[in-house]
A and B are shown apart, each in its own frame.
Chain A
Amino acid sequence: DGGITQSPKYLFRKEGQNVTLSCEQNLNHDAMYWYRQDPGQGLRLIYYSQIVNDFQKGDIAEGYSVSREKKESFPLTVTSAQKNPTAFYLCASSIVGGNTEAFFGQGTRLTVV
Chain B
Amino acid sequence: AQSVTQLDSQVPVFEEAPVELRCNYSSSVSVYLFWYVQYPNQGLQLLLKYLSGSTLVKGINGFEAEFNKSQTSFHLRKPSVHISDTAEYFCAVSDLRRGSARQLTFGSGTQLTVLP
Q: Using a Cβ–Cβ cut-off of 8 Å, how many residues does chain A contribute to the interface with B? A: 31
CB pair B101–A94 under 8 Å, yes or no, is yes
Inter-subunit contact B90/A43 (CB<8 Å)? yes
- Of all chain B residues, which has the CB nearest A109? B41
Tell me whether A60 is interfacial, beta carbon within 8 Å: no
- B91-116 contact mask (Cβ, 8 Å, vs A): 1 or 0: 01010001111111111110000000
Q: Please, how many residues of chain B have a CB less than 8 angstroms from a CB on the other chain?
A: 30
Q: Which residues of B contact A44 (CB under 8 A)?
A: 106
CB distance from A1 to the nearest CB of B (A): 14
Cβ A101 vs Cβ B49 within 8 A = yes
| Chain A contact surface mostly | strand
A105 interface residue, CB < 8 Å from B?
A: yes
Point out the residues of chain A lying under 8 angstroms from B25, CB to CB: none
What are 17 A-B pairs with beta-carbon distances under 8 A?
Answer: A33-B102, A33-B103, A35-B104, A40-B109, A42-B4, A42-B90, A42-B107, A43-B92, A44-B106, A45-B105, A88-B41, A96-B100, A96-B102, A97-B100, A101-B46, A102-B94, A104-B44
A binding-site residues for B, Cβ under 8 Å = 4, 6, 31, 33, 35, 40-45, 48, 50, 58, 88, 90, 92, 94-97, 99-107, 109
A40-B108, A92-B44, A104-B45 known; 14 new pairs, CB 8 Å cut-off, are: A31-B101, A33-B102, A42-B108, A43-B44, A43-B106, A45-B103, A50-B101, A88-B41, A95-B102, A96-B102, A97-B98, A99-B32, A99-B52, A107-B42
